[in-house]
Amino acid sequence: MSIVENKTSYPWHDSKEHDRNHVWHAFGPVKGDTWMVEQAEGTYVTDVDGNRYLDAMSGLWCVNAGYGHERIAKKVYEQMIQLSYYPMTAAHIPGAQLADKLNELLGAPYRIFYANSGSEANETAFKMARQYHFLKGNSTKFKIISRYRAYHGNTLGALAATGQQQRKYGYEPLMPGFIHVHPPDPYRDHAENDLEAYGEKMARDLEKTILWEGPETVAAMIMEPIITGGGVLIPPANYMPLVSAICRKYDILLISDEVINGFGRTGKNFAFQHSHVVPDFVTMAKGITSAYLPLSAIAVRHDIYDVFAEAEGEYARFRHVNTFGGHPVSCAAALENLAIFDELDLVQRSAEMGVVLMNHLQALKSLPVVGDIRGLGLLAGIELVADRDTREPLSLDLMNKIVAFCKNSGIIIGKNGDTVAGLNNVITLAPPLITTEEQLITIVSTLKSAIESIL
Ligand SMILES: Cc1ncc(COP(=O)(O)O)c(C=O)c1O
């Protein structure tokens, strides 16, 4: 009998009290009880009160293959019996097989270094980039460039790279050496009518920053191909290729943060693949295991790895280890998760259902507060405004009402929150890649009713 069926003997009401008394939640403290979930299957999450919700955010943008795949649980069980743990100072079979699988998805030869979270993956890439330049005799190259509005993690370095002041306020000063540039945001910059010229301009602005900082001081640039949590900002098609070319010109390593973008979210294995660039690093987490277990990875271009492999001296090696990174059980979960991706063709499905989602979302266009609708694959952002002409952002209060209406109607949607002042006005959708068209229609029609409720 499952825990859900056996509710009478399961002390969930005590759990609520324990939670209230003892747990400090993300973005908390919060007033009153925190919503308590108990079970999830496919695209649905059920709470301890028996309410079922269609999860249009895949948890925290991560349950790409959907909830409750027993076959992942079985592989995890078998791996725990076979080899419950060994550190990555040694090799193990799931770690080696997963590195091979990731190379297949990346489409170019990369070395894989494992970690535990997206934040840690980005931290690791920063250290590798700095040491790479150090080993090549360019020890003045230490700065990391990133974009305003992007999130890169909660640790002090990854937070320093993050371009969201509301996540940093009160925790500063963070790590020195992080420089931010303006991200492409065609809607806010009124640039929708000439995307190519705008993409070119944004790339040239980046180049100007590099020149003014001094290219000999810049080690790396980190970017999500599509800024996700910052508000689903989709750049013009020419932007990432131009950024890649500029980075190469000044010997600046390009880190593609695919923590959300990766594993089919945008309709490709990785979002950089829309641009036909080859990043120097690809950082990934979340969808790698569809969040069945924690795992992240840093894919490092082979010739960068070779600089480490060929360097000599006491400080030549990458002196970096983590206890749990590349945990064999997490790697086994990732392999089974990616086998499901292949069998269900989830990446292609995301591309196709993304088009379907965008078509249905057009129904929102008639609502006066809908300023912009954008998306790629099963990732969408709906920017809401108080005034269509001035594009003044919708108030936080009304944004929260829309999200709450959807939740009360059984649909979990997201919104960008605690990013930059005044621009937390984008509704976000990132449903599991197994979501059906019928479910997408339900999500969109509920969102439409929610928006109508505040008009
Ligand atoms: C783009 C991006 N990078 C990095 C991170 C940090 O990942 P984690 O929460 O696993 O540390 C996130 C988390 O949402 C993210 O969205």
pLDDT tens, 270-322? Answer: 999 999 899 999 999 999 999 999 999 999 999 999 999 999 999 999 999 99
What single DSSP character describes residue 4?
A: T
**Is the C-beta atom of 244 inside 6 A of ligand 1?**
no
Residue where the block lists tokens 């080899």:
83
What single DSSP character describes residue 184?
A: P
**Is the C-beta atom of 330 inside 6 A of ligand 1?**
no
Average pLDDT over residues 7-12: 55
Q: How many CB atoms lie within 10 A of CB 108?
A: 11
**pLDDT per residue over 242-266, tens digit each?**
999 999 999 999 999 999 999 999 9
**Is the C-beta atom of 164 inside 6 A of ligand 1?**
no
**Residue 9: what pLDDT?**
53
**Residue 12: what pLDDT?**
61
The helix or strand, by DSSP H or E, that contains position 178, with its residue range, turns out to be strand 178-181
Q: Which ligand 1 atom is the nearest neighbour of the CA of 117?
A: 10
CA angle, residues 114, 119, 120, in degrees to nearest 5: 35
**Is the C-beta atom of 258 inside 6 A of ligand 1?**
no
pLDDT at residue 134 is higher than 90: yes
Strand stretches in 226-290, DSSP E: 253-257, 281-284
Mean residue pLDDT of the chain comes to 96
**Is the C-beta atom of 159 inside 6 A of ligand 1?**
no
Q: How far is the CA of 8 from the centre of ligand 1 (A)?
A: 38
Q: How far is the CA of 350 from the centre of ligand 1 (A)?
A: 21
Q: How far is the CA of 187 from the centre of ligand 1 (A)?
A: 25
Best residue among 62, 286, 418, 419 to mutate for probing ligand 1, ranked by most atoms within 8 Å of CB = 286
Average pLDDT over residues 19-42: 93
**Is the C-beta atom of 337 inside 6 A of ligand 1?**
no
**Is the C-beta atom of 48 inside 6 A of ligand 1?**
no
DSSP for 321-342, written as a single string? --SSTT-HHHHHHHHHHHHHHH
Q: How far is the CA of 135 from the centre of ligand 1 (A)?
A: 29
DSSP for 79-103, written as a single string? HHHH-S---TTS--HHHHHHHHHHH
**pLDDT per residue over 310-366, tens digit each?**
999 999 999 999 999 999 999 999 999 999 999 999 999 999 999 999 999 999 999
Q: Which ligand 1 atom is the nearest neighbour of the CA of 116?
A: 10
Burial class (CB in 10 A: 0-12, 13-18, 19+), 134: middle
C-alpha 355/C-alpha 376 separation (Å) is 8
Q: Which of 190, 263, 192, 249 is nearest to 221 (CA)?
A: 249
Q: Are 266 and 350 in contact (CB under 8 A)?
A: yes
Best residue among 119, 159, 167, 233 to mutate for probing ligand 1, ranked by most atoms within 8 Å of CB = 119
In this prediction the pTM is 0.97
Q: How far is the CA of 154 from the centre of ligand 1 (A)?
A: 8
Average pLDDT over residues 364-387: 98
Confidence of residue 66 (pLDDT cuts 50, 70, 90): very high
**Is the C-beta atom of 271 inside 6 A of ligand 1?**
no
Q: How far is the CA of 95 from the centre of ligand 1 (A)?
A: 22
Domains (range + CATH), the chain = 35-64+346-453 (3.90.1150.10), 70-344 (3.40.640.10)
**Residue 10: what pLDDT?**
55
pLDDT at residue 382 is higher than 50: yes
pLDDT at residue 7 is higher than 60: no
pLDDT at residue 2 is higher than 80: no
**Is the C-beta atom of 228 inside 6 A of ligand 1?**
yes
**Is the C-beta atom of 259 inside 6 A of ligand 1?**
yes
**Residue 88: what pLDDT?**
97
Q: How far is the CA of 155 from the centre of ligand 1 (A)?
A: 10
Confidence of residue 13 (pLDDT cuts 50, 70, 90): low
Q: How far is the CA of 313 from the centre of ligand 1 (A)?
A: 34
**pLDDT per residue over 68-123, tens digit each?**
999 999 999 999 999 999 999 999 999 999 999 999 999 999 999 999 999 999 99
**Residue 3: what pLDDT?**
45
What's the start-to-end Cα distance of the chain, in Å? 46
Residue where the block lists tokens 């086998």:
339
**Residue 175: what pLDDT?**
95
Residue where the block lists tokens 């936080």:
396
C-alpha 284/C-alpha 116 separation (Å) is 10
**pLDDT per residue over 175-185, tens digit each?**
999 999 999 99
Share of the chain above pLDDT 70, in %: 97
Look at strands 426-429 and 414-415 and give their pairing: antiparallel
Q: How far is the CA of 385 from the centre of ligand 1 (A)?
A: 27
C-alpha 357/C-alpha 380 separation (Å) is 8
**Residue 30: what pLDDT?**
85
**Is the C-beta atom of 419 inside 6 A of ligand 1?**
no
Say which residues have a Cβ less than 8 Å from residue 173's Cβ, sequence separation at least 6: none
**Residue 32: what pLDDT?**
85
Best residue among 122, 260, 296 to mutate for probing ligand 1, ranked by most atoms within 8 Å of CB = 260
Cα distances (angstroms) measured from residue 150 to each of 121, 159, 162: 16, 10, 6
Helices (H) and strands (E) in the chain, counts: 14, 16
Best residue among 63, 259, 289, 379 to mutate for probing ligand 1, ranked by most atoms within 8 Å of CB = 259
**pLDDT per residue over 40-58, tens digit each?**
999 999 999 999 999 999 9
Best residue among 120, 146, 151, 419 to mutate for probing ligand 1, ranked by most atoms within 8 Å of CB = 151
Average pLDDT over residues 199-218: 98
